[in-house]
């Protein structure tokens, strides 16, 4: 399908896609695919005003009715899964199967949110006073600001958006300037859902295409009660104190540096497949990408040999071609960062295999790389850094205690896994003394989490949780209600006051 047809099928208006200041290029070949008008500070203010007005109406709409709107959005996504998945590949460079997988995550979270819209439960609490009842009510919080990254340009928004909408909160979304088209497409699909829904207020969903400078103003606007931001640790550490300074809430999804421990009892057939998907899938540009492999020394040589063979079998290239497993990096910046890191770890004693540029002649303006395996004598500070590219560091361990120490000895704490068939090892890894991450897996890799669980991590990953489980609570405010239905006025703690 031509780009023009693709854009039109997703409801993008051709006249909005040309003549602007922001040129959007496809990482597949570096060619421009659109140029968009960017929002000014005034546009941002107008959009937040509109969202705030929408909040005042939407918070009184019954939650199951709010869920109906998300059910309709889910239907739009089902109908347009192929087209939106294709646009994700075009704009972000991930392979088509992963682009579609991302849309599937959106559909799944829609279903989750629809169910949730009838389950925003609070507790009933036994009161210590006679003739009194205590309960909790969960109320809409206010407008939510969502800042998303290029690597999951639509799924991460949907985790936030669907929950926010059923919780009664409009959303102002600032997508990455590397992937604004997918955001506009989501907005267009949501508009179709709104039309079928009927009587929703304007301003439930606002998209802001803007530089970081304008986006930063979102952090200071007191009407944005919650900011859910995905990006680097550096970004998070800048915005978190700003938002905290005005007592706003945050959900931060920052850097990951995810590890896997492979023990002698591991099923290596499964482990090798899991490593391959987790380390090279999405060209190493997932927050949950496997970056550190910690292998017991007795099986180390075998694992590395099999891994190198598996790496040699993958096709790197056009992400829209059916055989491709690894598409391009997002841009030259990502490529340069990868090359600099490979040089730096080589100086620290790392043995680098792969990592070079591929297809440069065919795509001089796009950045395809051979995924790298780097055998490290020990875990250095550079290994402790998240490089958003397919670099897998491999290290040896002797005892499980040592492996867990190495595993946890990095600043980030998003996702982790162990491959073992030893029950003691598996349980130790998931125990309080095991992995210190927000996601801890056994016999699957660290990436590719389902939406049903709470997604997020500890330490420099930022502590936020979004998507499934009870993550919805961050999007609501809790009121504790005590109701006196007696004819007395007993005080708590048995206090007598002026009687
Ligand atoms: C991200 O990389 O920003 O667990 C999100 C996964 C996906 C989401 C990743 N479900 O890999």
Mean pLDDT value across residues 196-219:
95
Question: Quick one: CA dihedral 61, 483, 124, 249, positive or negative?
Answer: positive
**Lowest-pLDDT choice from 27-36, 163-172, 208-217, 318-327:** 208-217
Compute, in angstroms, the gap from residue 447 CA to the centroid of ligand 1: 6
pLDDT digits 0-9 by tens, 422-431: 999 999 999 9
Strands 143-147 and 32-36: unpaired
Residues 6+ apart with CB under 8 A from 14: 4, 7, 8
Mean pLDDT value across residues 87-94:
98
Nearest CA to 274 out of 400, 442, 155 is that of: 442
Question: d(Cα 466, Cα 31) in Å, to the nearest integer?
Answer: 34
Residues of the chain above pLDDT 70, percent: 100
User: What is the band of 368 on the pLDDT scale with cuts at 50, 70, 90?
Assistant: very high
Pocket of ligand 1 contains residue 439 by CB under 6 Å: no
The total number of residues shown for the chain amounts to 499
CB atoms under 10 Å from CB of 415, counted, come to: 31
pLDDT digits 0-9 by tens, 266-280: 999 999 999 999 999
pLDDT digits 0-9 by tens, 268-324: 999 999 999 999 999 999 999 999 999 999 999 999 999 999 999 999 999 999 999
Atom of ligand 1 nearest to the CA of 230: 3
Nearest CA to 87 out of 1, 206, 211 is that of: 1
- Full DSSP string of 443-499: SS-SS---TTSEE--EETT-S--EESTTGGGGGEEEEEEEEE-SSS-PPGGG-----
Mean pLDDT value across residues 140-146:
98
Pocket test for ligand 1, best of 287, 389, 390 (most atoms within 8 A of CB): 287
Pocket test for ligand 1, best of 230, 282, 286 (most atoms within 8 A of CB): 286
- 37-46 CB contacts, 8 Å cutoff, 24+ apart: 37/209, 38/209, 38/210, 38/211, 38/214, 39/208, 39/209, 39/210, 39/214, 40/210, 40/214, 41/214, 41/217, 43/208, 43/210, 44/208, 44/210, 44/214, 44/217, 44/218
Q: Which of 110, 167, 186, 287 is catalytic?
A: 287
Alpha-carbon distance values, 181 to 17, 26, 175, 352 (Å): 9, 11, 9, 36
Alpha-carbon distance values, 26 to 56, 80, 170, 178, 321 (Å): 39, 20, 30, 9, 15
Compute, in angstroms, the gap from residue 25 CA to the centroid of ligand 1: 23
Atom of ligand 1 nearest to the CA of 289: 11
> Under a CB-based contact definition with an 8 Å cutoff, are residues 142 and 226 in contact?
yes
Strands 351-353 and 372-375: antiparallel
Structure confidence at residue 228 (pLDDT)? 98
Pocket of ligand 1 contains residue 152 by CB under 6 Å: yes
Mean pLDDT value across residues 352-372:
98
What φ, ψ does residue 497 adopt, rounded to 5°?
A: -135, 105
User: What is the band of 176 on the pLDDT scale with cuts at 50, 70, 90?
Assistant: very high
Q: Which of 68, 91, 98, 253 is catalytic?
A: 253
Compute, in angstroms, the gap from residue 46 CA to the centroid of ligand 1: 32
Compute, in angstroms, the gap from residue 449 CA to the centroid of ligand 1: 6
Question: d(Cα 68, Cα 202) in Å, to the nearest integer?
Answer: 17
Please count the CA atoms within 13 angstroms of the CA of 312 that sit on its side-chain side: 7
User: Residue 441 in 3-state DSSP?
Assistant: strand
Question: d(Cα 279, Cα 287) in Å, to the nearest integer?
Answer: 11
Question: d(Cα 316, Cα 294) in Å, to the nearest integer?
Answer: 26
pLDDT of 499 strictly over 90:
no
Compute, in angstroms, the gap from residue 71 CA to the centroid of ligand 1: 23
Instruction: Give the helix/strand (H/E) hosting 205.
Output: strand 205-207
* CA-closest residue to ligand 1 atom 6: 448
The interaxial angle of helices 400-408 and 423-430, nearest 10 deg, is 30
Atom of ligand 1 nearest to the CA of 449: 4
> Under a CB-based contact definition with an 8 Å cutoff, are residues 5 and 14 in contact?
no
Compute, in angstroms, the gap from residue 159 CA to the centroid of ligand 1: 11
* CA-closest residue to ligand 1 atom 7: 448
Instruction: Give the helix/strand (H/E) hosting 235.
Output: helix 233-245
Mean pLDDT value across residues 443-471:
98
Question: d(Cα 39, Cα 44) in Å, to the nearest integer?
Answer: 7
Helix runs in 151-232, H state only: 155-167, 180-197, 212-220
Pocket of ligand 1 contains residue 94 by CB under 6 Å: no
Mean pLDDT value across residues 462-481:
98
Instruction: Give the helix/strand (H/E) hosting 442.
Output: strand 439-442
pLDDT digits 0-9 by tens, 60-70: 999 999 999 99
> Under a CB-based contact definition with an 8 Å cutoff, are residues 280 and 311 in contact?
yes
Question: d(Cα 96, Cα 271) in Å, to the nearest integer?
Answer: 24
pLDDT of 177 strictly over 90:
yes
Structure confidence at residue 223 (pLDDT)? 98
Pocket of ligand 1 contains residue 154 by CB under 6 Å: no
User: What is the band of 96 on the pLDDT scale with cuts at 50, 70, 90?
Assistant: very high
Compute, in angstroms, the gap from residue 8 CA to the centroid of ligand 1: 28
User: Residue 156 in 3-state DSSP?
Assistant: helix
Nearest CA to 58 out of 138, 167, 160, 155 is that of: 167
Q: Say whether 110 is catalytic.
A: no
> Under a CB-based contact definition with an 8 Å cutoff, are residues 263 and 422 in contact?
yes
Residues 6+ apart with CB under 8 A from 152: 102, 230, 286, 287
Alpha-carbon distance values, 34 to 4, 37, 209, 368 (Å): 10, 10, 13, 22
Pocket of ligand 1 contains residue 393 by CB under 6 Å: no
Q: Environment class of residue 309 by beta-carbon count within 10 Å: exposed (0-12), middle (13-18) or buried (19+)?
A: exposed
Question: d(Cα 103, Cα 44) in Å, to the nearest integer?
Answer: 27
Atom of ligand 1 nearest to the CA of 455: 4
User: What is the band of 1 on the pLDDT scale with cuts at 50, 70, 90?
Assistant: confident
Is the pTM value of this prediction over 0.85?
Answer: yes
């Amino acid at each position: 399908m031509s780009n023009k047809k693709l854009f039109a099928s997703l409801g993008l208006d051709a006249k909005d896609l040309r003549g602007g200041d922001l040129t959007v290029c496809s990482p597949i070949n570096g060619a421009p695919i659109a140029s968009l008008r960017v929002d000014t500070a005034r546009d941002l203010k107008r959009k937040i005003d509109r969202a705030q007005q929408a909040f005042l109406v939407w918070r009184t709409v019954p939650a199951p009715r709010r869920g109906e709107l998300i059910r309709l959005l889910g239907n739009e996504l089902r109908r347009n899964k192929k087209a939106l998945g294709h646009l994700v590949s075009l704009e972000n460079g991930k392979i088509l199967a992963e682009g579609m997988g991302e849309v599937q995550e959106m559909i799944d979270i829609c279903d989750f949110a629809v169910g949730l819209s009838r389950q925003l439960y609070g507790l009933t609490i036994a009161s210590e006073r006679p003739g009194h009842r205590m309960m909790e009510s969960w109320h809409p919080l206010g407008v939510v600001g969502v800042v998303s990254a290029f690597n999951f340009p639509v799924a991460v928004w949907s985790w936030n958006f669907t929950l926010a909408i059923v919780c009664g909160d409009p959303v102002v979304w600032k997508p990455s300037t590397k992937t604004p088209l997918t955001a506009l497409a989501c907005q267009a699909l949501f508009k179709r859902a709104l039309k079928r829904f009927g009587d929703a207020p304007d301003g439930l969903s606002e998209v802001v295409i803007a530089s970081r400078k304008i986006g930063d103003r979102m952090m200071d606007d007191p009407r944005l009660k919650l900011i859910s931001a995905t990006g680097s640790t550096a970004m998070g550490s800048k915005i978190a104190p700003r938002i905290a300074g005005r007592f706003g809430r945050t959900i931060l999804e920052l850097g990951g540096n995810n590890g896997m421990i492979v023990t002698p009892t591991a099923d290596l057939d499964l482990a090798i497949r899991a490593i391959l998907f987790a380390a090279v899938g999405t060209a190493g540009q997932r927050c949950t990408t496997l970056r550190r492999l910690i292998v017991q020394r007795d099986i180390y040589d075998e694992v590395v040999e099999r891994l190198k063979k598996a790496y040699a079998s993958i096709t790197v290239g056009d992400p829209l071609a059916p055989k491709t497993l690894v598409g391009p990096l997002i841009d030259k910046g990502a490529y340069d960062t990868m090359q600099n890191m490979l040089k730096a770890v080589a100086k620290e004693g790392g043995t680098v295999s792969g990592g070079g540029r591929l297809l440069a002649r065919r795509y001089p303006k796009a950045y395809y790389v051979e995924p790298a395996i780097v055998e490290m004598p020990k875990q250095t500070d550079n290994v402790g850094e998240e490089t958003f590219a397919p670099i897998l560091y491999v290290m040896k361990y002797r005892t499980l205690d040592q492996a867990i120490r190495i595993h946890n000895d990095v600043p980030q704490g998003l996702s982790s896994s162990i491959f073992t068939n030893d029950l003691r090892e598996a349980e130790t890894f998931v125990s309080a003394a095991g992995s210190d991450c927000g996601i801890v897996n056994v016999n699957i890799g660290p990436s590719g989490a389902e939406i049903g669980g709470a997604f997020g991590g500890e330490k420099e990953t930022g502590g936020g949780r979004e998507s499934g489980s009870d993550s919805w609570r961050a999007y609501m405010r809790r009121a504790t209600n005590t109701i006196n239905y007696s004819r007395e006025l007993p005080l708590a703690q048995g206090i007598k006051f002026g009687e």
